[in-house]
């Protein structure tokens, strides 16, 4: 039996078991909720403000969500093809892209890609040029200014 068959079998057995116990409420709250979820207030997404302003207009929200999803899926697909030979780095960069371009980003989403950094550490080499004002809170500013460079080994 292949890994895919084992994974699918265990998934459907678990879903079937809990469906028998809890009915459609289980399906809606465990699987379908994330499709329709929208959290426009507690959100780090680049799309949060546009979605917040358009919250009352269903058509605009649909267009914004579709407009956010298309670049996200294209980028993930391209990165998967581009870096498929280096799986740890591919996992890191595709997960990072998924989180960054998601329509809903909350604090716990950052753990999704941060836990992959040690796995991809052999591929990613981060070198720091230390200046007097370097503090951990300035990491993103230094990255933007080019004082930190990320290179692939």
Q: Are residues 94 and 47 in the same domain?
A: yes
Q: Are residues 100 and 133 in the same domain?
A: no
Contact indicator for 61, 55 with CB cutoff of 8 Å: yes
Q: Are residues 109 and 51 in the same domain?
A: yes
Task: Using the predicted structure, report yes or no on whether residue 133 has a pLDDT greater than 50.
Answer: no
**Euclidean distance between the first and final Cα of the chain, in Å?**
36
Total domain count, the chain: 3
Q: What is the pLDDT of residue 119?
A: 84
**Element holding 48 (H helix, E strand):** helix 48-53
Q: Are residues 132 and 152 in the same domain?
A: yes
Task: Using the predicted structure, report yes or no on whether residue 71 has a pLDDT greater than 80.
Answer: yes
Mean pLDDT of the chain: 80
Q: Are residues 85 and 44 in the same domain?
A: yes
How many residues in the chain?
153
Q: By residue range, what is the domain housing residue 128?
A: 123-153
pLDDT tens digits, residue range 29-55? 988 887 666 666 667 888 888 888 887
Q: Are residues 71 and 51 in the same domain?
A: yes
Contact indicator for 79, 94 with CB cutoff of 8 Å: yes
Please write down the HEC assignment for all residues of 41-80. CCCCCCCHHHHHHCCCCHHHHHHHHHHHHHHHHHHHHHHH
Task: Using the predicted structure, report yes or no on whether residue 125 has a pLDDT greater than 80.
Answer: no
Q: Are residues 81 and 12 in the same domain?
A: no
Q: Are residues 141 and 151 in the same domain?
A: yes
Q: Are residues 58 and 13 in the same domain?
A: no
Q: Are residues 117 and 130 in the same domain?
A: no
Q: Are residues 71 and 134 in the same domain?
A: no
Q: Are residues 32 and 43 in the same domain?
A: no
- Angle at 90 (CA atoms; ends 1, 73), nearest 5 degrees: 90
Task: Using the predicted structure, report yes or no on whether residue 141 has a pLDDT greater than 80.
Answer: no
Residue 85 Cα to chain centre, angstroms: 21
């Amino acid at each position: 039996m292949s890994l895919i068959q084992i994974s699918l079998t265990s998934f459907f057995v678990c879903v079937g078991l809990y469906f028998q116990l809890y009915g459609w409420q289980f399906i809606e709250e465990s699987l379908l909720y994330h499709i329709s979820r929208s959290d426009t207030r507690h959100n780090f997404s680049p799309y949060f403000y546009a979605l917040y302003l358009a919250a009352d207009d269903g058509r605009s929200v649909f267009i914004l969500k579709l407009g956010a999803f298309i670049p996200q899926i294209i980028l993930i697909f391209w990165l998967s093809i581009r870096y498929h030979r280096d799986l740890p780095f591919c996992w890191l960069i595709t997960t990072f892209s998924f989180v960054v371009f998601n329509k809903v980003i909350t604090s716990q989403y950052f753990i999704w890609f941060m836990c992959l950094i040690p796995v991809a550490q052999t591929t990613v080499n981060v070198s720091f040029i230390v200046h007097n004002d370097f503090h951990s809170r300035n990491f993103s500013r230094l990255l933007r200014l080019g004082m930190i460079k990320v290179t692939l080994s």
